[in-house]
Structure 1
Amino acid sequence: MINFFYEISNFSITNKSLFIQTIYLILKNEGKEIGNINYIFCNDHYLLNLNKKYLQKDFYTDVIAFAYSSTPPSHKISGDVFISIDRVLENSKQWNQFFQVELKRVMIHAILHFLGYEDQINEKLMKKKEEFYLILFQF
């Protein structure tokens, strides 16, 4: 099951079914099943506090993913994904990208983390997979 929660009042996901379908198809393609994934949309301040508290990092980020399953990932993928809408909007402007595309990118990025990919170890592979799934599941 995929759920959407909002810690900000001025944002909500449109086309929820398309986002959900994309995540299901990615997991199927990677040989996994959906467990329970919660997407929590928030602002920079909210995510900065999480970054400091749980990761001991003092900077803005667009996404933080906390997996419920152990390493290596279990067959069913579950976790909480926190996304700063402020960062996604800023990044979309900086990279001259549509907001929806950038939002989908960070949502996919979190799923890749749940699948065991790490930025520091698999950065190039993660970027390739992000691009692959963005192109494959355009809307």
Structure 2
Amino acid sequence: MAINFTPYEVKVNLKNKTKLKAFLKERFAKEGQGLKNLQYVFCTDEYLLQINQQFLQHDTFTDIVTFELGTNPKVTEGEIYISVDRVKDNAVKFQVSEEQELHRVIFHGALHLCGYKDKNKEQSATMRKKENEYLELYFGQV
């Protein structure tokens, strides 16, 4: 089981990757989701916009795009693309640290791969509650 963090043409300040990998593995297990391979790619707005346009036919900036690549729905093999530009902007917008916002988005992608959706108000509320739970577990009180 592998989790990798890869910056693509950006600098990302991701502290204590070993702790984060262990935490993510534990969260997948607690959610009842197997984990084979997970690749986080940190990139620019422009790069993620291209992915959004090419694969999802969305012509908008976004902070994250998540892909499940495996064929077994009970075992994750995924790629998660995160715009470092959006994370920085959203940290200012939501008045949180860049570190906290980066981890919120990292956890958001993991939650998608565990089966959580955010297409309507109820799903979004559940997703936000789980993100906050993960942030609290990871950082302590946030």
- Given the two structures, how large is their TM-score scaled by the length of structure 2? 0.89
TM-aligned CA deviation for residue 69 of structure 1: 3.1
C-alpha separation in 1, matches of 2:127 and 2:12: 27
Q: Deviations over 1:9-65 (max 9, x none)?
A: 433533111221221121121122321000000000000000011111111100000
C-alpha separation in 2, matches of 1:35 and 1:3: 12
- Aligned 8 A contact 1:62 1:106 in 2: yes
1:117 is aligned to: 116
* Percent identity over paired residues: 34
C-alpha separation in 2, matches of 1:11 and 1:133: 21
SS in 2 for 1:97: coil
Counterpart of 1:103 in structure 2: which amino acid? L
C-alpha separation in 1, matches of 2:77 and 2:128: 22
C-alpha separation in 2, matches of 1:64 and 1:82: 5
2:25 is aligned to: 24
C-alpha separation in 2, matches of 1:39 and 1:14: 14
1:60 is aligned to: 61
Q: Deviations over 1:62-100 (max 9, x none)?
A: 0000012358x31x2220000000000110011110111
Counterpart of 1:90 in structure 2: which amino acid? D
- Aligned 8 A contact 2:10 2:84 in 1: no
C-alpha separation in 2, matches of 1:50 and 1:128: 27
Counterpart of 1:97 in structure 2: which amino acid? V
In structure 2, runs of 5+ residues without a counterpart are none
Matches of residues 1-139 of structure 1 in structure 2 within 5 Å?
A: 1-70=2-71, 73-74=73-74, 76-121=75-120, 122-138=123-139
SS in 2 for 1:120: coil
SS in 1 for 2:32: coil
RMSD of aligned residue pairs (Cα, Å): 1.6
SS in 1 for 2:139: coil
SS in 2 for 1:131: helix
In structure 1, runs of 5+ residues without a counterpart are none
- Aligned 8 A contact 1:51 1:57 in 2: yes
Counterpart of 2:50 in structure 1: which amino acid? N
- Given the two structures, how large is their TM-score scaled by the length of structure 1? 0.91
- Aligned 8 A contact 1:6 1:12 in 2: no
